[in-house]
Structure 1
C-alpha cells in the first residue's frame, strides 16, 4: 500500500459554513428546547417561557434558513455539494456499502457509504424539525410565517389581532383556540420525537467520524475547517 498522501479539496466554503452554523444552531436549540420541555421542573415563569420560546424560534429561523440554503445548494452546487454525492440513491450503492464494510483500505473523497446513510437520516430529521417548528411557532407565540393566520383564526375581533398574546385569552375564541391546539398536536409529536431521534443520531455521527478518521487517517475533521482531505494517491474512491 502506497503511504504517500496528497491534499484533495472536497468541502467548499458553502458546505463548511452550513456545517458549523448547523452545529451551532442545533446545540442552542437543544439547550433551550430541553429547558422548555422541563419548564415546570426548572420553575420557569410564564414570562420566562415566552422568552425561551421566542429565543428558540429566532434561533430556529437561522437553523431553517441555513437548512434551506443547503437544500438549494444540493440542486445547483458543484461536485460534493450535490445530492448525487451525499445521498445513497444511486446504482451500486449496496455493493459499495458491502465493500466498505469488508475492506478497511478503501478511501472516499466525499462521504463514505455509512456517512451517506447518516446524512440522509440527519437531513430528514432536520427537515421535520424545521417544518413542524415553523407551525408550532405560529400556534404557540404567533410568530411568522404562520402566526398571523393562526391568530386571525382564533380571534373574536379580527381587526384587533395585536392584543392576542401567548398564554393570554384576550380576544380569543375558546372553541377556535381548541381547534387550533388540536391541529398542532401531530406537529408537536413530530417535533418532539424527531428531536429525540436527533439526540440519538448526533453522538452516533460524532462516533462515526472518530471511527472513520481512525480507519482512513484522511483528516476528516480538519477537512470541515479547511476543505481538504489527505488521501493516498492511488487509493481514492471517486465517490
Structure 2
C-alpha cells in the first residue's frame, strides 16, 4: 500500500495515517464511554444525589442501556473495520510483539526517539488491552441489561425462562415478581450478579487505562514523537527521517 506524503521546508514528511472511520470511532467512543461513566456513577450514588423511587431507578438503567447500545454499535463497527480498513486500522498490523516492545524501550533508554507512522510498540499493547476491556464491558453490559430490565438482545429469552407456567412472558416487568417463577429467578440471580460485578470492575479498570493512556500519549507527544495527538484529528503525521514501520 502506498502512502500519500508531502514535504515541507524542514525536509520532514507528512503521511496520511489514520483513516476517517478510525478517527470517528475514537472520538465517538470517548464521548459514549464518558457518558456511560457519568450515568453509571449517578446510578451507583443515586441516593446521595437525591434520586429515589423504583421508576427513577429503572429510568436511569434504561438511559444507561440506550447509550450502551450506541457504544456497542460503534465498537462493533470498529471491530469490523479492523479487518477491512487501511493498514493502520487493521488488527493484523497492530498486534503487540514482545521483541518490538523491548527494542523500543531500549532505544528510549539510549536517548533515541524512534518514529512510527502507526502506534509504537507500547501503543499497540495499550490499544489491545483497551479493546479487550471494551469488548468485555459491552458483553457484560448487554447481559446485565437482559437480566436486569429485560432489554434486547437477551431480555426476551430471560423473560421466557422466568415466566411462570401460563404467564405471557411479555407481561413480565423489571423489579416486579408478578407472574415470575421465583425458583427460576433464583437460578438466574447468581449469573446476573456475576455479569454486574465483572461489568463494574471492568469499567474501573478502563478508568485506570484511560488515565495511563492519556499520560502516556502526553509523554510521547512532548518527549518522543510530536504530532501524535493532532494526528487523531487530522489523520496525518509529520515525521522527520524514516519511520520504522513505513
Q: Same-fold call, TM > 0.5?
A: yes
Distance change in 2, residues 1:27/1:71 (3 Å)? same
1:73 match: 81
Contact 2:107 2:113 in 1 (8 A): no
TM-score by length of 2: 0.89
User: Following TM superposition, by how much is the alpha carbon of 1:171 offset from its aligned partner in structure 2, in angstroms?
Assistant: 1.0
In the alignment, structure 1 residue 53 sits paired with structure 2 residue 57: no
Q: How does 1:19-38 map onto structure 2 within 5 Å?
A: 19-38=26-45
Contact 2:159 2:170 in 1 (8 A): no
Residue ranges of structure 2 left out of the alignment (5+ in a row): 1-8
Q: How does 1:130-141 map onto structure 2 within 5 Å?
A: 130-141=138-149
The structure with the greater share of residues assigned to helix is 1
Contact 2:150 2:159 in 1 (8 A): yes
Contact 1:84 1:90 in 2 (8 A): no
Q: Deviations over 1:152-209 (max 9, x none)?
A: 1111145512321111111111111121111222211210111110111111111111
Distance change in 2, residues 1:43/1:163 (3 Å)? farther
Match of 1:11 among 12, 18, 21: 18
In the alignment, structure 1 residue 211 sits paired with structure 2 residue 192: no
Q: Distance in 1 between matches of 2:100 and 2:235?
A: 27
Q: How does 1:106-117 map onto structure 2 within 5 Å?
A: 106-117=114-125
> Mean alpha-carbon deviation: is it higher for 108-117 or for 11-20?
108-117
In the alignment, structure 1 residue 156 sits paired with structure 2 residue 161: no
State the secondary structure of the residue aligned to 1:229: strand
Contact 2:167 2:179 in 1 (8 A): no
State the secondary structure of the residue aligned to 1:236: coil
User: Following TM superposition, by how much is the alpha carbon of 1:216 offset from its aligned partner in structure 2, in angstroms?
Assistant: 3.4
Which 4+ runs in 1 deviate beyond 6 A? none
User: Following TM superposition, by how much is the alpha carbon of 1:16 offset from its aligned partner in structure 2, in angstroms?
Assistant: 0.5
Residue ranges of structure 1 left out of the alignment (5+ in a row): none
Alignment size in residue pairs: 237
Q: Distance in 1 between matches of 2:213 and 2:14?
A: 24
Q: Distance in 2 between matches of 1:192 and 1:113?
A: 29
Q: Distance in 1 between matches of 2:48 and 2:37?
A: 17
Match of 2:137 among 120, 123, 129: 129
In the alignment, structure 1 residue 169 sits paired with structure 2 residue 181: no
Q: Deviations over 1:44-91 (max 9, x none)?
A: 221111111111111111111111111111122221011133220476
